[in-house]
Structure 1
C-alpha cells in the first residue's frame, strides 16, 4: 500500500474509533441484555405468559370475543390496538391497549417513540384476566428501547446510527491496514492471523485484528441489519423498497355497501378461525378495523419463522380477503430483511443468542484492545493521533480519489448521519491542514 494512503487510512481508522468506541460499547452491552431477554422474561413473566392446565388435559377455550371483552372491561378509557390470541395450549391471550390521549403509531408508540400502552393477559380457557403490565415494563421492550435509543425515544436513534456506520468504516480501514503480503512475496500471508504472543503492543495489535476478522461477517450483518431500522438510514432503506416496488401496499377499504346494507360485523372468533385455517403453525396478531371502511388485518406475530411470514386484510363485514401476501410473494430485499432483523434480535433460538453474545463480547474486546494499543504507543501528554500533513495528502495516488470520493459520497447519501459527521471531520482536517505553518517532512 502507498505510504500516504496507509497514513490516510490510519488517521481515518483513528477518527472512526474515537467516534464509535463509546457507542459500540454501549450498543454491545445493551444488545447483550436484549439477547438474553427470552431467558430473563421466562423467569419474570411466566405467571402472565403461561396458564396452568388441569390434569385431564386442555379444556375448550372461551371465544376470543369473550377474552377481548374481559380485557377491556377493566380498562374502559384505553383503546384496543391489537390482539395476540393464545397459540400453544399453555399460552395466554395478549390484548394490547393504547394509553388515553396517546397518538397512534405503529406498535402503539407515542410521538417520542417509547411505548405508552399496556398489555392485558387473559386465560384463554376461562376468559379471566391474569394481569396487566405497561409495555415498557416488559424486560424485552425495555432492553430493546435501551439498545436502540437509550430510552430517550426516536430522537436519539441517530446516535446508534452514528456508531454503526463509523464501525463499518472502522472495520474496512482496519482490514486494509492489516492486510499482509503473500508468503511468496516475503510477507506473513495467512500466518498473520496467528497472534504473536509476548510482544507487547504487537500482541495487542494481532489480537485486535484476529478477533475483528474472525467475527467480521457476523458483526457486519448485525450492523447492516441494525441500520435498516435506524432513524435516517432506515428511512432511506424504506424509500428504496418503495422505489423497487417492495414496500407494503396501501391498505384496502371495507366495501361500504356491506355496512350500509346492515351486515353484522365480523367477530373476533370468526376472524381468528379463518386466519388459523390459513396459518395454523404460527402465532398471529389481529388488528381490528378503524371506522366504517376500516379492515381487519392479520399477520404473523412470531418473527422467528420467516418462511411463514404473511399479511392478510379482510372486509370488516363479509370477511372477504381484500389482500394477502406470504413468503413466496416477498421480493428478495424484503426476504433478506425478514431473515436479517430476527437474526439481529436473536429470535432464532439459543444458537442465534450465542452468536450475538460472542459478537457483543468481540466488539467490546476490539475497543479495549484498540485502547490498549493507543496507550502503549502514545507520547506523554499527547493525543497520539496518526499524523497526516499536506505533503502526505499531495503524495496520495491520483487514482485514489477516483474511488474514494464516490464511495464516501454514496455512503453519505445512504447513511445521512455518517455523511454529516464525515463533513464535520473533513472540515476540521481541511482547517488543520490550512493552518499548518511549517512544511513537515513526508512521513516515513
Structure 2
C-alpha cells in the first residue's frame, strides 16, 4: 500500500539538496567576483609595508631640534597650491613624521576623475616648514588599494559587484556550514575535519574544500559583515538601523557654532587650535579641520584608525578654545564599538598577526572557490558542462520557516542581494516549469 507520508530522512535529504543547490549557484555565479575580491584584498592588506617602501621620502624626515608653528607649515603648503581648497591637516604626531595637508580637487578641474577622488596631499617638514613632496590622492598606495578593492577603480557607482559577491558569500557560508555539520554533533566535529583520506578524486577535493571552508568561516564572516557595513547599499541600511537603535557613533550636531566675541578678538590660530585639541584628546594622530566662516568651529578627530579605544570627535569654539562637543570610546554604544574594532581588523591594521590571518583567509577563500569549481567539473555529465544538483519537488516545500525568514532578512538588509535573489528565484521557477513540461512530454 502506497502512502504520501515521507519519512524524516527524505525531508532531510530534500533539505540537503536545497542547501546544496543554493550553495552551488551562489558559488558558481560569484566565483570570479570572490576571487577578484580576495586578490584585491591581498593587495590592500600589505598596505603598511608597501607604504613604508613607496612613500618613505614624503612620510619621514630627519628629526630636528624645534618644531615650526603649525600655521607656518600650513602656509607653506598653501603657497604651493593657492587655488586648491584646504580640507584638513594631519599634524606630525611622532618624531620624524611629516605634516600632511590635504587639499580638495582643483576648482578649475573635475571634482573626480572617472568617479575617483582627485584630491592632493602636500607633505611638510615640521622642523623647517618646507614642502618635501606632493602626491595626488590616488598616488598614495593605501587610497589606490582601497579603491581597487572596493570598486575595481571604477568609482562609487561600481561598488555593487563587490557588494553582490559579499552578499552571496554569506549564503555560501551559511549553506556550507549547514551541509557540513555532522549528524553526531559536537562529538563528531574532529572526525569531520581532515585534509587526507581514502576515496576518489572528487572526495579528496571535497575534503579540502570543506575543511578549508569551515576553518575560515568565523574570520571570513567577520570580514564579510564588516565590509558590508561600509558598502554603498547595505551600508546605508546598516547606518539607518544603527541610528534607529541608538547605536550609531556620536557625531556633533550640524548647527554647532562659535560665539563671535564683541571685543573683536581674533579666532584661534592653527597652532593654538591644535594645542587645545591635543590637551583634550587621546594621544593619537589627529586630523584638524578649520572653521568655515566667522561662526565656524574647529573640528578634530583621530586620523589613525588602528587604535579603536582612542577614537574621538572634538568640536572647539573658534575663539575661546572651549569644547562644544566631545565623544570618545566611552561614549560609543556597543554596536558602534563593534564596527570600530571590526573595520580596522578587516583592513589588517592591528599588526602583523592581523595581516597574516587575513592573508591566510584570502588564500583559503581562493582555494575554496577553485576546489568548488573543480568538484563541479568532476561531477558533470559525460561530455557536458557543470550541472547543478537536482532538486526534488519537495525541496522548496521542505524549507523551514526559519530559512524563508533568514532570506527575507538578508534581502531587506542587502538591496543588491534582494534583486539578485529575485532574479535567481525567477530562473528557478522557469527551470521548474521547463522541467515539468519536458517530463510530461516524455511521458
Whether the aligned pair in 2 keeps the contact of 1:193 and 1:210 (CA below 8 Å) is yes
Give me the whole-angstrom Cα distance separating, in 1, the residues matched to 2:37 and 2:319. Answer: 47
Structure 2 unpaired stretches of 5+: 1-8
Which residue of 71, 75, 84 corresponds with 2:90? 84
2:59/2:123 contact within 8 Å kept = yes
Partner residue, 1:193: 193
The separation in 1 between residues aligned to 2:222 and 2:16, in whole angstroms, is 26
In 2, Cα distance between equivalents of 1:91 and 1:30: 29
Residue 198 of structure 1 and its aligned partner are, at CA, apart by 5.3
- Residue 383 of structure 2 is aligned to residue 383 of structure 1: no
Q: Distance in 2 between matches of 1:110 and 1:339?
A: 30
Stretch deviating more after TM superposition (192-201 or 234-243):
192-201
**Structure 2 match to 1:250:** 253
Correspondence for 2:39 among 29, 32, 39: 29
Q: Report what 1:60 is aligned to.
A: 66
- Partners of 1:183 and 1:95 in 2: CA distance: 57
Match of 1:311 in 2: 313
Distance 1:71 1:142 in 2: 23
Q: Tell whether 2:23 aligns with 1:13.
A: yes
Tell me, yes or no, if the aligned pair for 2:83 and 2:107 is still in contact at 8 Å: no
When residues 410 and 112 of structure 1 are mapped into structure 2, their CA distance, relative to the original with a 3 A threshold, is farther
Counterpart in the other structure of 1:223: 224
Are the equivalent residues in 1 in contact too, given 2:205–2:375 (CA < 8 A)? Answer: yes
CA displacement at 1:270 relative to structure 2: 0.3
CA contact (8 A) 1:30 1:146 kept: yes
1:298 aligns to what SS in structure 2?
Answer: strand
Are 1:196 and 1:202, in contact at CA under 8 Å, matched by a contact in 2?
no
Deviation of 1:341 after TM superposition, in Å, equals 0.4
Matched, 1:38 2:51: no
Structure-1 residue corresponding to 2:3: none
2: distance between equivalents of 1:287 and 1:254?
14
Note the 1:52-201 alignment, pairs <5 A. Answer: 52-53=62-63, 58-101=64-107, 110=112, 114-182=116-184, 189-197=189-197, 199=199, 200-201=201-202
Aligned length: 425
What CA deviation, in whole Å up to 9, does each residue of 1:196-222 have, x standing for no partner?
335311111011011111111111110
Question: Alignment partner of 1:357: what SS?
Answer: helix
C-alpha distance in 2 between matches for 1:65 and 1:418: 49
Contact (CA 8 Å) 2:170, 2:221: kept in 1 or not? yes
How many Å apart are 1:79 and its aligned residue?
0.6
| 1:393 corresponds to | 395
What is the deviation of 1:439? 4.3
Q: Matched residues in 2 for 1:32 and 1:130: separation?
A: 30
Aligned partners of 1:284 and 1:298 also within 8 Å: yes
- Matched residues in 2 for 1:308 and 1:102: separation? 38
Q: Deviation digits for residues 78-122 of structure 1, max 9, x if unmatched?
A: 010000000001100000001123899xxxx74975221010000
**238 and 253 in structure 1: CA distance in 2 versus 1, 3 angstrom threshold:** same
Q: CA deviation at 1:76?
A: 1.0
Alpha carbons 2:234, 2:413 under 8 Å: kept: yes
Deviation, structure 1 residue 254: 2.1
CA RMSD of aligned residues (A): 2.1
- Cα distance in 1, alignment partners of residues 306 and 135 from structure 2: 24
Identify if the C-alpha distance between structure 1 residues 153 and 206 changes in structure 2 by more than 3 Å, giving closer, same or farther. same
| 1:421 alignment partner in structure 2 | 420
In the TM superposition, what is the alpha-carbon distance from 1:230 to its structure 2 partner?
Answer: 0.4
Partner of 2:88: helix, strand, or coil? Answer: strand
* Superposed CA offset, 1:31-71 (max 9, x none): 10111111011011111000013xxxx41100000000000
TM-score by length of 1: 0.91
Q: Is the 8 A contact 1:287 1:298 kept in 2?
A: yes
Secondary structure of the equivalent of 2:362? helix
Q: SS in structure 1 opposite 2:298?
A: strand
Q: Distance in 1 between matches of 2:120 and 2:112?
A: 12
Q: Residue by residue, what CA displacement relative to the aligned partner does 1:264-318 show, whole Å, maximum 9, x if unpaired?
A: 0111100111122223521111011122322111011111111111000011222
Q: Which of 356, 365, 368 pairs up with 1:366?
A: 368
For 2:215, the equivalent position in structure 1 comes to 214
Q: In structure 1, the residue corresponding to 2:354 is in which secondary structure?
A: helix
User: Superposed, which structure 2 residues align to 1:276-425 within 5 Å?
Assistant: 276-279=278-281, 281-379=283-381, 380-389=383-392, 391-393=393-395, 396-397=397-398, 400-425=399-424
Cα distance, 1:255 vs structure 2: 3.2
- The question of whether the paired residues in 2 share the 8 Å contact of 1:166 and 1:418 is answered with yes
Q: Partner of 2:83: helix, strand, or coil?
A: coil
Give SS of 2:116's match.
Answer: coil
Alignment CA distance shift 1:270-1:31 (3 Å): same
Aligned-pair distance for 1:392?
Answer: 3.3
Distance in 2 separating the partners of 1:183 and 1:137: 52
